[in-house]
Structure 1
Amino acid sequence: MKLTILGGGGFRVPLVYGALLTDRGEGRVTEVVLHDLDDGRLRAIARVLAEQASNVADAPPVTATTDLDEALRGADFVFSAIRVGGLEGRAQDERVALAEGVLGQETVGAGGIAYGLRTVPVAVDIARRVARLAPDAWVINFTNPAGLVTEAMSRHLGDRVIGICDSPVGLGRRIARVLGASPEEAWIDYVGLNHLGWVRGLHIAGRDELPRLLADPDLLGSFEEGKLFGTDWLRSLGAIPNEYLHYYYFNRETVRAYQQADKTRGAFLRDQQAHFYEEMRDPDAPALAAWDRTRAEREATYMSENRETAGAGERDADDLSGGYEKVALALMRAIARDERTTLILNVRNVNTLSVLDRDAVIEVPCLVGANGAHPVAVDPLPGHATGLVCAVKAVEREVLAAAESGSRTRAVKAFALHPLVDSVNVARRLVEGYTAVHPGLAYLG
């Protein structure tokens, strides 16, 4: 079975390959193709993967190419983790937004819109090529903004593109852990959009244990989200929000913290990873050790400004292991072997949330098997969540319309309608600022 990884020179690719190395079952991935536009990054990551596989019998062989059509042809699964504009583009997204006093985070607010505007045209081109060159392939999308990009690709691939994210998985795991339960035995009632969802229940042996957590301030304040949001706010909501909702609920404090930081997150990662790739130019450098050291620092500093704002302290060691690669492997196994399971994924709504249309991509628990991923029935969203979900989905639709038409007016509208952008004039200046620094937005007329 052939797996093609787009963005194959990306820093987190070894996580995916490491997960593949643990799979010894029938129907496993037997060939991995890395694709990237940067040959130097491809070679660096290929070295890391070679060291990972050095003591593993029958490790899937890895090849690398800068030819997209060659990479896609004959693929059974396509894992998309591209970053249009690179980390320098992310740093620019942050700087332009913060100069206007609004959030520049890569998936939330102005930064997410800018990232989406330059990513959607590339993702659509990939989807069209997959449909032509590998029509039977399943596309697993991790490219951010994941929900928006998955929806763009679904217009050409239908239900054969599925978005994944590690945030809901990590959230459910943390809640189960503090309740003394195994995450594998828990049913997580999670619903929303990517980076905009809430855990409304966690069922163990048929019993919802979330009320017990919400009723115990000490227990509630003992894990990441309790520290981040504060126990009083979580009890007011009656739910546990995805960590990215901190950007909405504490926006003013977060923007101030980002403005005062020595470096934005994108600039930090840009410089950190540039050092790693530079180190890989030395053929004698230990690739896996250098990668692992860089990864540990990356994970430990994740959302550091938000945690500082909330006084949440350092991340727990158990939260530093990522998780999206495990979701990707479980998804591939479920489809390839019909090993039916339940995963929280980004898929088309169909009839799941009545406030959204059939084609809107949402993030909910799905039943997965040989026929793909199908959202389970969920209770309606509470009013406060409905407002945010509908507003952000409307913004995503404007981004898709702007990308399809090249309309600068639709791009301005996307920024202006976002809950975290507080002025039409700010929206206009954001479009001017982003088009000035991103050649990939030259299509906006």
Structure 2
Amino acid sequence: MKKYSIVIAGGGSTFTPGVALMLLDNKDRFPIRQLKFYDNDEKRQEPIAKACEILIKEKAPDVAFSYTTNPEEAFTDIDFCMAHIRVGKYAMRELDEKIPLKYGVLGQETCGPGGIAYGMRSIGGILELLDYMEQYSPDAWMLNYSNPAAIVAEATRRLRPDSKILNICDMPIDLEEKMANMCGLKSRKEMSVRYFGLNHFGWWSHIYDKDGNDLMPTIKKHMEQHGFALATSEFNQHVEPSWNDTFVKARDVYKVDPEHIPNSYLKYYLFPDYVVEHSNPEYTRANEVMDYREKNVFEECHRIIDKGTAEGTTFEADAHASYIVDLATAIAENTKERMLLIVPNEGSIANFDPEAMVEIPCIVGKNGFEKITIGNIPRFQKGLMEQQVAVEKLVVEAWIEGSYQKLWQAITLSKTVPSASVAKQILDDLIEANKDYWPELK
């Protein structure tokens, strides 16, 4: 069986140890000969990489490990690049969240003006990684789960249409696990789903078990009462408060259209006033992450490095990230697994823009993907999606053309923003904050 070489782009991410562990835990079905970390921030990557080096040596001494800030070293002799980069890191995410809140508009990492700002930073970073991969390992595949995935996917469609990149997101995976739990199933893999929409902007229309039994009535009953929160109080113990609120609020999002099960991110588009009301403009999600996840992960890295062993580590394999191994395995071993991907529509949703990047089920094999046909979608979803896809396309056009006008239009068109005048105020503040990251706008 062939063994594969992987580079994780975003080696300094706090999610990287969990992804590395998840890869090691799945070596039986996706064998690895080499694992590399790549980041352009040497200082941030070093403690993560040194701790993972110890961990890998103890768990899988047969896997060659290295880390670097040199693109040629990182991208030479690889089969896969797993990309989860955050251009501007959490300092910029904090501004993405706090600047809109100054004007009474929700501040969120991937939705509304914050997501647009993040998208404008991410496009160049992803294109750079793609170009490195194609220069040094032209046969490799990039599995990109960097946010905001919708804007990044549209940019790669426009600017690198022939690249071997698959854009993916783990949010539907997390929600499908919750739905499997509602139905008493062990795993989402015991379900077959039909889903349509854009990234962080979609709906499940059908969900069956392996025998073809309809699970929607059970899931709908739970959604009506609890949203995505689990019925027991246990769910509160292991989930941060901001996520608990999102899972509970899904109950109200579901009521807007009880024929479908919504992605939890629709809360930001359908209830933006609620989100602003429940936000602290002085302490946002970015602060929560910096105070907890960032602090804990780096402390654990230093502990492992100081002790010289990963024994008793608090790091766990990132279960949600197992879909990345599923995807890599589907390509490497031609398993024809059915997975949700962000792909050009091209008629899969019959009554929707053929050039939109939509999130739908696909069959994945060594030559890429084949799309599952969705057919026509209802007017409510179609209207929301047309507005949102226009936002995403305008953002990418603004980046390509350096157009202030188009970025103003994109923010104005976002369902989270009340008027063009508010959009302009937010945009002007975001330009100032992002002057080191965005192309110059005229």
Q: For 1:365-444, what aligned pairs fall within 5 Å after superposition?
A: 365-438=361-434, 439-441=436-438, 443-444=440-441
**What per-residue deviation string (whole Å, max 9, x for no partner) do you get for residues 383-407 of structure 1?**
2111111111111101110111111
1:51-90 aligned within 5 A: 51-90=54-93
Distance 1:342 1:174 in 2: 19
Q: Does the alignment pair 1:164 with 2:168?
A: yes
Shift of 1:59: 4.7
**Residue matched to 2:285:** 265
Cα displacement (A) at 1:277: 6.9
Give, in whole Å, the separation in 1 of the partners of 2:379 and 2:11. Answer: 41
2:408–2:427 CA contact under 8 A, matched in 1: yes
| 1:144 aligned to which of 123, 144, 147 | 147
1:308-319 superposed matches below 5 A: none
Inter-partner Cα distance in structure 1 for 2:297 and 2:220: 45
Equivalent in the alignment of 1:253: 274
CA–CA distance in 2 between the matches of 1:215 and 1:12? 34
One of 226, 236, 241 as aligned partner of 2:262: 241
Partner of 1:259: helix, strand, or coil?
coil
**Which one-letter code corresponds to 2:95 in the other structure?**
Q
Q: Is the contact made by 2:154 and 2:392 (CA closer than 8 Å) also made in structure 1? A: no
Matched, 1:174 2:194: no
Aligned to 1:443, the other structure's residue is in SS state: coil
SS in 2 for 1:292: coil
Matched AA of 1:248: Y
Q: How much is the aligned-residue C-alpha RMSD, in angstroms?
A: 2.7
Normalising by structure 2, we get a TM-score of 0.86
What's 1:111 paired with? Answer: 114
CA-CA distance at 1:198 after TM superposition: 1.0
* Equivalent pair of 1:21/1:59 in contact (CA under 8 Å): no
Kept in 2, the 8 Å contact 1:170–1:323? The answer is no
2:314 alignment partner in structure 1: 292
Indicate whether 1:209 and 2:228 are aligned.
no
- Find the partner of 2:205 among 200, 205, 220: 200
CA pair 12-381 structure 1, distance change in 2 beyond 3 A: same
Segment of structure 1 superposing worse, 432-441 or 396-405: 432-441
- Structure 2 match to 1:184: 189
- The one-letter code matched in structure 1 to 2:362 is C
Structure 1 residues 195-231: Cα deviation after superposition (integer angstroms, max 9, x where no partner): 1111122112223220343256787657358732327
- Say if 1:252 and 1:290 are closer, same or farther in 2 by CA, change over 3 A: farther
CA contact (8 A) 1:334 1:368 kept: yes
State the shift of 1:149 in Å: 0.8
Deviation at 1:440, TM superposition (A): 0.9
The aligned amino acid for 2:273 is: R
**Number of residue pairs matched by the alignment:** 418
Of the candidates 251, 263, 274, which is equivalent to residue 230 of structure 1? 251
Q: 1:376 is aligned with what amino acid?
A: I
SS in 2 for 1:391: helix
How far is 1:75 from its partner? 2.0
Q: Is the 8 A contact 2:149 2:169 kept in 1?
A: yes
Structure 1's unaligned 5+ residue stretches are: 296-320
Q: CA deviation at 1:187?
A: 0.5
CA–CA distance in structure 2, aligned partners of residues 24 and 176 of structure 1: 25
State the Cα deviation string for residues 247-290 of structure 1 (Å, max 9, x = none): 12221111121136x51111222344553576456751688689
Q: 1:373 to 1:253 in 2, by over 3 A?
A: same
Matching residue of 1:347: 343
Residues 1:79 and 1:181: Cα distance change in structure 2 (over 3 Å): same
How far 1:419 sits from its partner (Å)? 0.9
What is the DSSP-based 3-state SS (H/G/I as helix, E as strand, rest coil) of the residue aligned with 1:208?
coil
CA gap of 1:161–1:94, structure 2 versus 1, over 3 A, is: same
Q: In the alignment, what sits opposite 2:128? A: 125
Partner residue in 1 for 2:243: none
Report the 3-state secondary structure (helix = DSSP H, G, I; strand = E; otherwise coil) of the residue aligned with 1:207. Answer: coil
Structure 2 residue ranges without an equivalent (≥5): 231-245
Q: Is the 8 A contact 2:144 2:166 kept in 1?
A: yes
Residue 233 of structure 2 corresponds to none
User: C-alpha separation between the residues in 1 aligned to 2:67 and 2:306?
Assistant: 20
2:324 and 2:309 map into 1 onto residues whose CA distance is 24
2:42 is matched by which residue type in structure 1? Answer: D
Contact 1:100–1:430 (CA under 8 A) maintained in structure 2: yes
Contact kept in structure 2, 1:352 and 1:377, CA below 8 Å: yes
Offset, 1:70: 2.7
* Mapped partners of 1:418, 1:289: distance in 2: 48
- For residue 5 of structure 1, what is the aligned residue in structure 2? 8
Residues 202 and 370 of structure 1: CA distance in aligned 2, closer, same or farther (over 3 Å): same
CA distance in 1, matches of 2:309, 2:270: 41
Query: Does the C-alpha gap of structure 1 residues 291 and 377 become closer, same or farther in structure 2, counting only changes over 3 Å?
Result: farther
Contact 1:193/1:389 (8 A) holds in 2: yes
